[in-house]
Structure 1
Amino acid sequence: MRGAGRWWRGKSTPAKVETYTRWSFHALAVAEVAVIGLAPFGSVPRSVAVRLFLLVCGHAVVCAVTASRALDWKRGSREQPVRWVVALATTTPAAAVIAAGAVTRGPDPDHVAATLYVGVVSCGTGFLALGLRSTRHMSGGVLAGSFGAGAVAFSQGFSWLASVVSAGVVLLVAGFLAFTCVFSVWLLDAVYELAEARDTRARLAVAEERLRFGRDLHDVIGRNLAVIALKSELAVQLNQRGRPEAVEQMIEVQRLARESQREVREVVRGYREADLGAELAGARGVLTAAGIDCTVTGSAAGLPSPVQSTLGWVVREAATNVLRHGDARRCAVLIRVEEGLVVLSVENDGVPQDAGARPSGGSGLAGLGERLAEVGGTLRAGPTGDGLFRLAVEVPLPSDAEAARSLSEVTP
């Protein structure tokens, strides 16, 4: 059971919904065996009941396989299961007629025959709708199945009232099964689309940040590079004419190059520095939008800029890992100051028990370790049990900053 639980927790939310949907279809096939296949026992001779049970089991297997293949087709992982749809459409009336015709003796043979006939036709028609392309075709298949059930029942000796009732029951049961199957597939598609939308939103955020950075670089050095190019051409022309002003122009080019280098460093420094308060607000907003309950305890006020910048990157990387890894429903962020240290912890649920300290295929935590090493901080990350994952960092505070922090907390 522990292995099964770990296998289930290791799945993403869309994969869990798909697994649940697929096994729901299989459960309906099992229900056909349990409800219809066992009905003859006690009402007909045992040998006949066993043969009817095996017949219903075979029909249920065809229904389950058709539903599973049709689900794969709806998800785009295989072609339409035309052969299985045709097989189900062929075996359903044949199995129903054979089952009904086999019941000739017993306390109430007409009731047993009607149960087998209506049950097999209803299940087969309901599952058959899942393998059709459009809602119109599905509705037409259910109507055709119910009409055909009534017509065949009348031709097999059922009274006209029993034939009409059989057609009505097939219409209701098959219609319900078809609606359930179609709605389940629609819900599964919606879950996958939501997951894809969340991934797209994350990629768009990264692309937008890259565009902003590129725009800032262009605004900062674009004009300076154009001036450098013009002055360099002017210096070449002046030098060819033997004019001493060429040296002045090259000095100006040198000054502009150094100025551009300084401005680029400022842009990169501003890009690398992260404001802890803004990162906390952004992480809470993004996680909440993704359906994760995020709580933040503590404040970033009074912390020195280098510490805030480092912790801001920790929050950003932790929020990214919560979104991309596991299946979190709750995330708690805690900030506190104790004994000259700033302690930041991020804890979330929905993580497999065998998850390592570093997400698969990523190097974000390694980068955080390097950033923390620059300010003397430490990093601990890993599962804590019960599906929880905790990332905790400790960053030392300068003594004056610690005093200022304590003063700000006690001052009204």
Structure 2
Amino acid sequence: MELFTRWTLYAVPWFFQLGATDVLRLRDAPPPLMWSLLGLSVAQNLVTMALFRQGLDHYLHGRPVGPRLPALSALLAAVGLAAGLALQATGEPYNSASAIRFAVLSVGPFALGCALLMPVRTFVALHAGVAAAVAVAEAAVLPGAAAAVGSVFGLAITSGLSLFTVRCSGWILHVMYEVDASRKVQARLAVAEERLRFGRDLHDVMGRNLAVIALKSELAVQLARRERPEAVTQMVEVQRIAHETQMEVRGVVRGYREADLQVELAGARSVLRAARVDCRVDCPAEDGGEAPLPEAVRSALGWVVREGTTNVLRHADAARCAVRVRVRAGTAVLEMENDGVPTGSRTGTGAGTGAGNGAAEAGAGTGGGSGLKGLRERLAALGGTLESGPGDGAGTYRLRAELPLEGTA
């Protein structure tokens, strides 16, 4: 987007030069005059392109801008206006209409280049002064008020359009940078929040027990120095509390790694839509339309949704993804289908094309909770199955998991 905006702005000044030959009838002028004015226009455009680059860097990133390029652009605009006034003093074909056009073509590149370099009030005040000076000069060179009034209106319209166009382009880029920065901040905040939650759980579980262990250990030391038999009782209590703490920590870690279907469905929808994938979720059991699924089923299907979402992002150029959860004859069925799979690809969503998918199965690798292998083992422990393969349409793949509702405890 930034490259598109920059090069679009870079191209704008050259439209002034394209109109210079026909509008000012330079083809009828002597060759030295024609080439001099065209060279002046080219120099203005090159300086304006450099001002655009510095102006965008200044507007977006706050980088300082030196005074040389703005001063050079102002000097070239002044030379162009002076040349136009000199030509108008000679009469035809440079009449009042040509005077207006010459003023616009001379000041236009300067207005474009300075739109991002100065505040709006400063820009308006500066160009109002330029328009007033040009009007006075036109009135002195050409009789009547047509050239003076027309130049003022022409410069006002040109400066206003330049300010609006360039500022809007810079503002769009600025908003996009802010959105990108906010996404990074949001990701960091999510990680920090999860760390705080996990740290809080560990503190709640271990803080009291460690304090009791330290206190009873100190008491046991004092009793042992006095050769009191109660020291053994205190150390047995310390051992018991330590075992309880170990079990509670395992419970915290187990709860930390559990996946919940409703949470994973919401996360999949959010992540895929952020990746410009149209994600449709249909799960009456989690929306209150049917009886809620057992906890073990929700956890297992949550892992399927998480892995399938990861594989859609990693292995497919998808535009849509549909997730459907149904309960049929005492069996929970989850289907996840996406498009964007290249023709002839055997990886599909990365979840494989069946039991013989080498690329995806290698990625399933080790670990009880990642990849197809881990998902099949997790579902098999609950009496379920996992299938993956081409979907109904061309370039689509489907991940299908089935789990019985009974006997999953």
Distance 1:201 1:346 in 2: 29
SS state at 1:296 partner: strand
Q: Is the 1:239–1:246 contact (alpha carbons within 8 Å) kept by the matching residues of 2?
A: yes
> Could you tell me the percent identity over the aligned residues?
37
- Are 2:38 and 1:36 aligned? no
Distance 1:303 1:67 in 2: 60
TM-score by length of 1: 0.73
Shift in CA distance, 69/42, structure 1 to aligned 2, threshold 3 Å:
closer
Distance 1:69 1:379 in 2: 56
Q: Is the 1:310–1:371 contact (alpha carbons within 8 Å) kept by the matching residues of 2?
A: no
Matches within 5 A, 1:281-292: 281-284=266-269
Distance 1:289 1:66 in 2: 35
- Are 2:331 and 1:345 aligned? no
One-letter amino acid of the structure 2 residue matched with residue 279 of structure 1 = E
One-letter amino acid of the structure 1 residue matched with residue 15 of structure 2 = A
Partner of 2:8: 24
- Are 2:90 and 1:101 aligned? no
Structure 1 moving runs of 4+ over 6 Å = 103-107, 286-292, 300-304, 317-328, 364-367, 376-381
Higher relative contact order (CA 8 A, sep 6+): 1
Partner of 2:323: 334
Q: Tell me, which stretches of 5 or more residues in structure 1 are unaligned? A: 1-15, 350-355, 359-363, 405-412
Greater Cα offset, 211-220 or 134-143: 134-143
Between Structure 1 and Structure 2, how many residues are aligned? 371
Partner of 1:225: 210
Shift in CA distance, 210/317, structure 1 to aligned 2, threshold 3 Å:
farther
Matches within 5 A, 1:262-277: 262-277=247-262
1:193: how far off? 1.2
Output one character per residue of 1:332-375: Cα deviation in whole Å (capped at 9) or x when no partner: 3323679x9955536488xxxxxx989xxxxx988732743642
- Correspondent of 1:280 among 254, 265, 269: 265
Q: Is the 1:147–1:167 contact (alpha carbons within 8 Å) kept by the matching residues of 2?
A: yes
Distance 2:16 2:364 in 1: 52
Greater Cα offset, 130-139 or 230-239: 130-139
Partner of 1:409: none
One-letter amino acid of the structure 2 residue matched with residue 71 of structure 1 = L
Partner of 2:154: 169
Output one character per residue of 1:133-179: Cα deviation in whole Å (capped at 9) or x when no partner: 32221222221221232233334446444123212210221122112
1:232: how far off? 0.7
TM-score by length of 2: 0.74
- Are 2:54 and 1:69 aligned? yes
- Are 2:302 and 1:312 aligned? yes
1:304: how far off? 6.3
Q: Is the 2:96–2:142 contact (alpha carbons within 8 Å) kept by the matching residues of 1?
A: no
Shift in CA distance, 379/84, structure 1 to aligned 2, threshold 3 Å:
farther
Shift in CA distance, 78/255, structure 1 to aligned 2, threshold 3 Å:
same
1:105: how far off? 8.1
Partner of 2:375: 372
Say what the alpha-carbon RMSD is for the aligned residues.
4.3
